[in-house]
A and B are shown apart, each in its own frame.
Chain A
Amino acid sequence: MLWPLFFLVTAIHAELCHPDAENAFKVRLSIRTALGDKAYVWDTNEEYLFRAMVAFSMRKVPSREATEISHVLLCNVTQRVSFWFVVTDPSRNHTLPAVEVQSAIRMNRNRINNAFFLNDRTLEFLRIPSTLAPPMDPSVPIWIIVFGVIFCIVIVATALLVLSGIRHRRRNNKGLPGLDDAEDKCENTITVENGIPCDPLDTKGGHINDGFLTEDERLTPL
């Protein structure tokens, strides 16, 4: 006597949930790609967990707090692991609109992924696009900070070199103002003897004659 009821239920089930049904979504899992050796086998218990997660997501929608696990129907489970699912209303006659299911899944995508140790790529809901993570956008782009540091260093180094050059030249000009006039009268080239420049006129006044080496370095100190 129970058999006709059973057949009725499965018939309704098949009517509501079949590939490309109205308001049905296809799900695809790539467990071995994600977990490698630690991959678990997809059995009816995992399916139960999936139905529970979908029901949980629907219960978060304001008007659908009464959704039960039994309202989520799965069908056409393949070896790939892929299957179709629909969510029915409490009367089990109609399926909930796709838009509601879509937004509910999108809101709780992270929880669903984590329940199965998968991510957006390995647990795919076809026709439900996932919200991509926004890139980290610091207020000041990092490259400007690095640029600023290097720019300041270069400017400081350049300024130091230019200023020291100016100071060096000013000291040279101040040190030899009279020398220029005197040396203009004598030869233009400096005569070099034994690698030591000789001043024809002793305009430096009282300096050591470099023609004679100081003997001190030659003698070994006592």
Chain B
Amino acid sequence: MEKTRPQWGNPLQFVFACISYAVGLGNVWRFPYLCQMFGGGSFLVPYIIMLIVEGMPLLYLELAVGQRMRQGSIGAWRTISPYLSGVGVASVVVSFFLSMYYNVINAWGFWYLFHSFQDPLPWSVCPLNGNRTGYDEECERASSTQYFWYRKTLNISPSIQENGGVQWEPALCLTLAWLMVYLCILRGTESTGKVVYFTASLPYCVLLIYLIRGLTLHGATNGLVYMFTPKMEQLANPKAWINAATQIFFSLGLGFGSLIAFASYNEPSNNCQKHAIIVSIINSSTSIFASIVTFSIYGFKATFNYENCLNKVILLLTNSFDLEDGFLTASNLEEVKDYLASTYPSKYSEVFPHIRNCSLESELNTAVQGTGLAFIVYTEAIKNMEVSQLWSVLYFFMLLMLGMGSMLGNTAAILTPLTDSKVISSYLPKEAISGLVCLVNCAIGMLFTMEAGNYWFDIFNDYAATLSLLLIVLVETIAVCYVYGLKRFESDLQVMTGHALNWYWKAMWAFVSPVLIVGLFIFYLSDYILTGTLQYQAWDATQGQLVTKDYPPYALAVIGLLVASSTMCIPLVALGTFIRNRLKTGGTASVA
């Protein structure tokens, strides 16, 4: 008796699963950075164009393939052509790498969440030094939020060569993160379908609350004006367009096999075209929404720091010249400075080197992305709000929801091919396979809890998925259009869903999207080659800031291995299938 394939309880679960997977941390910490770097409001132009030209077609393609083939990535591509099941294998390998390091972010989220239940927040004050007369040195040189991130959370070593040991606190949090993931995927779509209701909707609630709070903060408008002022000349910068294309590509999570896995649990008659458009629009709107929140927070933080800087200058001048307390304010600072310079020139020239030039622009200009934005900049803004514990808990809860939602998709991409395979699923039940995958990932993930773990995390983050995904999606598009045949796929879709395929999708799949992906691929390759040796940012505790260092040879070897292990799957499996077929036909020929 053939087991019927599990299905989503209703189509809404499928949409929520896709949204929960696509809307992840990248929408919160990468898009605002890109927006700031590439011209503010004018970045939206290339972004939306790329969404329509690249994002929607490729998303529809993956969902359609999954829904038509009704199997995970390996099975789906094997059905299209046995030589191309390597694409599925490559997807699984990339998903495996991603889930290894992505859950470490959730572990850090848990760490910060648990530490938010204290008064005062541990990252708002520096710890005292040995004899309690001042603050810890490293904390003084950096800031309290940076100290908490680099010293208390990561306990980072000065370079990637110094490994250190496994830190037990992040290791505990990582174990909890994997247990949580296991709990959500344990029963397959039955449990995942219910969890995604929360992981998809709760982040929006928190973002809305933060939007209201953010807009009412003092100085928020500074950040918003700065961000949304369009700098039209950036439209001529090719990097803006390339980054828009890259952001759309990676933000939707194409090529990992998760979308194929999710769509394979659909009913065949599901209208995946509508869902593809809905998911991609929601994903992009969330990015824009999140960047509004981020920039109001930036504005608040920049204004706060600017006013602090001014107050420090005022205090310095008041103390040096014994002026009356409260006489110097921000408004008369300049004229008083001139007056003092003319009246007491010698004394003023002594004090002058210590007077910092406070500028709101330079505070706003500090563009940060990635873990630095989420765990340093945001926490710095949160510690200055009233009732900061509440805002901190809300914020890290949202980060956890976003991260967990993406993890569900990642693990689905790995598990669906495994549970589809008759060999494995006949020996082990679904729960055991999921448990094994989580256990293996957790054990390997302990690498990222070591003292040098964050450097390895950056390696995985930058190199594990980027090039491989571009290649995978390129091969996918070519496979569907030219190997399987666009006409054949079109008639399949028509039979399956009942709607004819619009000419727009055909044009995009056959010509535009492959050309775009090839362009991105060439750009990345040339970028890596031209840069020469790869470098990374290491934390220097003595200076209290990041310094640039070169990767040692074995780290470069690991990078090469990461990229090769996924991309080489495609040709190797094709070769293997070819050899197997030749041996089979050669065997039958000799018998006959």
Contacts and interface: CB of A to CB of B under 8 A. Distances in A.
A161 interface: yes
A80 B114 contact: no
B317 to A, nearest CB: 11
A142 B115 CA distance: 7
A208 B173 CA distance: 54
A28 B319 contact: yes
B47 to A, nearest CB: 38
Contacts of A132: 128, 132-135
Contacts of A183: 1
A164 to B, nearest CB: 9
B133 A80 contact: no
A79 B322 contact: yes
B132 A131 contact: yes
Contacts of B180: 154
Contacts of A129: 133-134
Interface residues of A, number: 37
Nearest to A32: B326
Interface residues of B, number: 35
Contacts of A165: 186-187, 429, 431
A158 B323 CA distance: 67
Given A146-B114, A147-B176, A162-B186, A190 B133 contact: no
A129 B180 CA distance: 49
B535 interface: no
Interface in A148-188: 150-151, 154-155, 157-158, 161-162, 165, 169, 180, 183, 188
Contact of A135 (B127, B182, B186, B319): B127
Nearest to A158: B183
Interface string B89-125: 0000000000000000000001101110110000001
B117 A157 contact: no
Nearest to A164: B187
B326 to A, nearest CB: 4
B324 interface: yes
B125 A161 contact: no
A119 interface: no
A190 B191 CA distance: 26
A58 interface: no
Interface in B152-181: 172-173, 176, 179-180
Contact of B319 (A80, A134, A154): A80
Interface in A52-79: 78-79
B1 A188 contact: yes
Contacts of A155: 179
A198 interface: no
B128 A78 contact: no
A101 interface: no
A189 interface: yes
A146 B324 contact: no
B2 A31 contact: no
A80 B172 contact: no
B70 to A, nearest CB: 15
A154 B179 contact: yes
A80 B324 contact: yes
Contact of B117 (A33, A135, A143): A143
B246 interface: no
Contacts of B186: 158, 161-162, 165
Interface string B387-404: 000000000000000000
Nearest to A29: B325
Given A144-B114, A190-B2, 12 more contacts: A39-B326, A79-B322, A82-B322, A134-B132, A146-B114, A146-B117, A147-B173, A154-B176, A154-B179, A161-B183, A162-B431, A180-B1
Interface of A: 28-33, 39, 78-82, 129, 131-132, 134-135, 142-144, 146-147, 150-151, 154-155, 157-158, 161-162, 165, 169, 180, 183, 188-190
Interface of B: 1-2, 110-111, 113-115, 117-118, 125, 127-128, 132-135, 172-173, 176, 179-180, 182-183, 186-187, 191, 318-319, 322-326, 429, 431
